[in-house]
Structure 1
Amino acid sequence: MPAGARHPIIMLAEHVADTFIAMGWELAEGPEVETEQFNFDALNFPADHPARGEQDTFYIAPEDSRQLLRTHTSPVQIRTLLARELPVYIISIGRTFRTDELDATHTPIFHQVEGLAVDRGLSMAHLRGTLDAFARAEFGPSARTRIRPHFFPFTEPSAEVDVWFANKIGGADWVEWGGCGMVHPNVLRATGIDPDLYSGFAFGMGLERTLQFRNGIPDMRDMVEGDVRFSLPFGVGA
């Protein structure tokens, strides 16, 4: 039988962490079992937002506990802003949970990387510079990003991020990578921060999706089946 091997998602997570630590950012963590307050309310989700429904979110019994499996790593933003002095530059990497069917491009348990910066005078220009540096670290020196207007409750303005990937199978092209934007003033207010004095930006990407298109993996299910033959080509055996 083949020896064990480190999983490529773990290796990618460590590389992302090292990239941002080298830029002077800090790591932050939060629980996987969250409350609606941190997962939705403090992030400016309206009470009737469809993401709150059981068709998207795993709730934990009893029903009135208001506990759930976090649907994104964004609750770490709130916990960090409540606990730390400003300025804040943090990266959070962890598992998230949504009621998706397991198929070639979706999985109900996936890893997300999220960045948050809150300081005086931050702008979309700082966000773009950070995204470009991140893209070059993961996809090579020719990688660059573009942003397209979008909507997220917790950022304003909001955008989706595409990355120009020169080594994409089938030829160089733009690939949808994640979401980003300037932290919504309501999110800052929810953590006691004056949006007239401070601004911030945030971004989030799925590690499985990043690995899938970076390495030309056709089926995301290969990442979760635990077959050592999948993991071995990515790095050192255990």
Structure 2
Amino acid sequence: MNDTLQNAQPETVSFGYEEVSPEEKTAKVGEVFSNVAKKYDIMNDAMSAGMHRLWKDKFVRRVKPQHGEQILDMAGGTGDIAFRMAARGASITVSDINQDMLDVGIERAMERGIDGLVWSRQNAEELSFESRVFDAYTIAFGIRNVTRIDKALAEAHRVLKFGGRFYCLEFSTTEWPGFKEVYDAYSHKLVPQLGQMIAGDADSYRYLIESIRRFPTMPAFEQMIRDAGFTNTRVEPILGGLVAIHSGWKI
């Protein structure tokens, strides 16, 4: 038998601090978001003291949605980013791999009287859209939950028009001395407790915190975006890198 084949190890990916098969991660992440869907936005407020709203406002300002633009909001779930962009006149397709998250978003849109959004269940790694159809691609707090990030970035590049822009809002690792240690202690100890109190689910929120720790550093993720074919990439740290806005252009 070929030595390479004999010594080959099954591919694994990170699910929090665990190493699992790609198929197992996809299933486990799906279970996490089905569990937290109905309490997702309440928990975001609790975990960030409402600051996620400011981060999302800043993110959309960077995207600069224009009237008539076609924008794909991937991992858009409950609609927070889509609602902000639609208010500026852009035509938004909200996509998520998890139907429970989409259902919450559709319900929230109905409650707010927001019409015209397209809701589409999609796997970020294998989008069903034609190539070169969107003016912008956004993904907020979702890329770290994708099983194969490189495939998702390649798909983002494929569906964008030439001149299209990619924007990603994601947790990272703060570089502020002292603050990093305080945040680490808070997130690992208190966030799962909040998850248990508010959503009745400590394990899902423990995973979400662990997934932040396993996500690539800002420079490493920027390189992944460049490797997918994007140019003029940029990283904008928030709170020293606790959160970061990554961007790039398809030229």
TM-score w.r.t. length of structure 2: 0.30
Q: Which has the higher strand share?
A: 1
Could you say which structure has the greater relative contact order, defined with CA pairs below 8 angstroms and 6 or more residues apart?
1
Structure number with the higher helix fraction is 2
